[in-house]
């Protein structure tokens, strides 16, 4: 595809939200990202997102991936496309998508593109046949041939009975689009520039236009309010879960949420109340859940994540995480490890076969292989201003309730006695012990009131 225009300007009042509707998330992914990714999948050379002035959040989310056109006044879909003309590659085809239509399948879009090209159309519209067409633009045909799209508000009583409607998705020859876009006027009930007026303009000048009736209209539904957000998310959730189940994965509940870009290999088992989002990959044989939340992370084969939260991290093969562990961004856990209950790891590397069984904080550290980190160990990485890193070498033992006061280096095969505050380097093979000596006093007084 030469150009893809994604329309995302205008207000979204029905959401009753400070945020525009296209930034609300469905299965962990902002609604507009679905359209942007779809454009990527069909190899769009240039993708332009049309936004209202001041749409910084959309621009921040998508910058680098797309170009932006600002539609200064919300004067209709025609006005939106007009705002892109100086950014279009002036050849090939231009596809118009909506930023609030996240359910369209790549296969459906490819069939539509195929229809357009095989029939050598100058303009094609994706249409749908629905029970209740009110509010939509009607596909007006004469003897089966597309003549016009009539907006609901401008339609005659007879035209209002038409159940074939415009989904909004349009594919058009770019040169013809550029030649004709300025002929759209706003002489209609709404006083808007309707992109759909192009159809009549093309028909009048004997261009080839046609409508492609989509099989499953629900793919083209927009997210206008929270009701649709809930309903749509639920439908997509089922669609994704059944596809994943069919590929050889056991999903043991209706309360499993898996994002559209997650890869789940076969023989994975996913237990209730689990969310897996972003670009996560769950490798064969892993068991995820119950009650787990995983985002942008890789869980290698045979690992178990139980009652735990994992962000932007990697968990090696046959490692167990949880119950009640928290892996924060940039944590890399080796294979055959144990990250036990109430352990928090952040921006740290943990080597193979290392055990951190209970109640510890590993922040900004590099821990080797075969290390035992005892209960209640804290890597003291923050002095109130700066963060520091520490390291622990292979085969070391960090006793319970030690504080590793960063930055400090603990070499291989060392032993940190329980309750030690480690403030200086521990060399290979050494025992570090630093605690206040216990004194048992015979003469002492209990403080009494």
Residues known to be catalytic: 358
Looking at 103, 136, 212, 326, which residue binds ligand UD1 (CB under 6 A)? 136
Q: Is 285 one of the binding residues for Ca ion (CB under 5 A)?
A: no
Number of residues located near Ca ion, criterion CB under 5 A: 2
Tell me which DSSP letter residue 318 carries: T
In the complex with Ca ion, the residue whose CB is nearer, 245 or 400, is 400
In the complex with Ca ion, the residue whose CB is nearer, 272 or 376, is 376
Q: Is 8 one of the binding residues for ligand UD1 (CB under 6 A)?
A: yes
The answer to whether residues 329 and 313 touch, using CB atoms and an 8 Å cutoff, is yes
In the complex with ligand UD1, the residue whose CB is nearer, 74 or 89, is 74
- Which stretch of DSSP H or E encloses residue 294? strand 293-295
Instruction: Say how far residue 284 (Cα) sits from the centre of its chain.
Output: 22
In the complex with ligand UD1, the residue whose CB is nearer, 140 or 311, is 140
Helix, strand, coil in percent for the chain, rounding step 5: 20, 30, 50
Looking at 94, 166, 274, 369, which residue binds ligand UD1 (CB under 6 A)? 166
Q: Is 55 one of the binding residues for ligand UD1 (CB under 6 A)?
A: no
Q: Is 30 one of the binding residues for ligand UD1 (CB under 6 A)?
A: no
Of 107, 67, 121, give the one whose Cα is nearest residue 89: 67
Q: Is 4 one of the binding residues for ligand UD1 (CB under 6 A)?
A: no
Of 108, 80, 66, 67, give the one whose Cα is nearest residue 9: 80
Q: At how many degrees (to 10) do helices 106-118 and 31-41 cross? A: 50
Smallest distance from ligand UD1 to CB 44, Å? 17
**The pairing of beta strand 123-129 with beta strand 164-173:** antiparallel
Looking at 1, 3, 4, 9, which residue binds ligand UD1 (CB under 6 A)? 9
User: How many whole angstroms separate alpha carbon 404 and alpha carbon 308?
Assistant: 25
Looking at 3, 4, 71, 360, which residue binds ligand UD1 (CB under 6 A)? 71
User: How many whole angstroms separate alpha carbon 99 and alpha carbon 160?
Assistant: 26
What residues from 379 to 418 belong to the interface with Ca ion (CB under 5 A)? Answer: 401
Smallest distance from ligand UD1 to CB 161, Å? 15
Query: Of all residues in this chain, which one has the CB nearest to ligand UD1 in the complex?
Result: 137
Sign of the Cα torsion 424, 425, 427, 430 reads: positive
Smallest distance from ligand UD1 to CB 190, Å? 8
Smallest distance from ligand UD1 to CB 113, Å? 19
Which residues would be at the binding site for Ca ion (CB under 5 A)? 376, 401
């Amino acid at each position: 595809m030469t150009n893809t225009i994604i329309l995302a300007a205008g207000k979204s009042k029905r959401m009753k939200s400070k945020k525009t509707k296209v930034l609300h998330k469905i299965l962990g992914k902002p609604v507009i990202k679905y359209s942007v990714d779809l454009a990527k999948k069909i190899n769009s050379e240039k993708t332009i997102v049309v936004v209202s002035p001041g749409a910084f959040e959309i621009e921040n989310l998508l910058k680098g991936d797309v170009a932006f056109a600002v539609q200064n006044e919300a004067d209709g879909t025609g006005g939106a496309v007009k705002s892109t003309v100086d950014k279009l590659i002036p050849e090939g085809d231009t596809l118009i998508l909506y930023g609030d239509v996240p359910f369209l399948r790549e296969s459906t879009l490819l069939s539509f593109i195929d229809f357009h090209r095989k029939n050598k159309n100058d303009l094609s519209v994706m249409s749908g046949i629905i029970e209740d067409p009110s509010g939509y633009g009607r596909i007006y045909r004469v003897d089966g041939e597309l003549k016009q799209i009539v907006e609901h508000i401008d339609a005659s009583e007879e035209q209002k009975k038409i159940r074939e409607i415009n989904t909004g998705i349009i594919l058009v020859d770019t040169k013809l689009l550029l030649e004709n876009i300025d002929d759209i006027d706003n002489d209609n009930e709404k006083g808007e520039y309707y992109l759909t007026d192009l159809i009549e303009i093309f028909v009048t000048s004997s261009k080839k236009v046609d409508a492609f009736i989509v099989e499953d209209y629900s793919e083209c539904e927009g997210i206008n309010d929270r009701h649709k957000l809930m309903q749509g998310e639920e439908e997509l959730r089922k669609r994704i879960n059944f596809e994943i189940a069919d590929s050889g994965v056991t999903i043991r509940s209706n309360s499993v949420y898996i994002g559209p870009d997650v890869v789940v290999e076969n023989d994975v088992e996913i237990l209730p109340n689990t969310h897996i989002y972003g670009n996560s990959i769950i490798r064969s044989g892993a068991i995820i859940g119950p009650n787990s939340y995983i985002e942008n992370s890789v869980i290698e084969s045979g690992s178990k994540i139980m009652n735990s939260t994992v962000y932007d991290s990697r968990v090696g093969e046959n490692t167990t995480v949880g119950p009640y562990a928290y892996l924060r961004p940039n944590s890399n856990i080796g294979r055959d490890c144990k990250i036990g209950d109430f352990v928090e790891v952040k921006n740290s590397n943990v080597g193979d076969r290392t055990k951190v069984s209970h109640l510890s904080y590993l922040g900004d550290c590099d821990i080797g292989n075969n290390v035992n980190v005892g209960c209640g160990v804290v890597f003291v990485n923050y002095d109130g201003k700066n963060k520091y890193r520490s390291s622990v070498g292979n085969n070391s033992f960090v006793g319970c309730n030690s504080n590793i006061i960063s930055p400090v280096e603990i070499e291989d095969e060392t032993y940190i006695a329980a309750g030690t505050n480690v403030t200086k380097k521990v060399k290979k093979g050494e025992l570090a012990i630093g605690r206040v000596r216990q004194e048992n006093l015979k003469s002492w007084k209990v403080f009494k009131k």
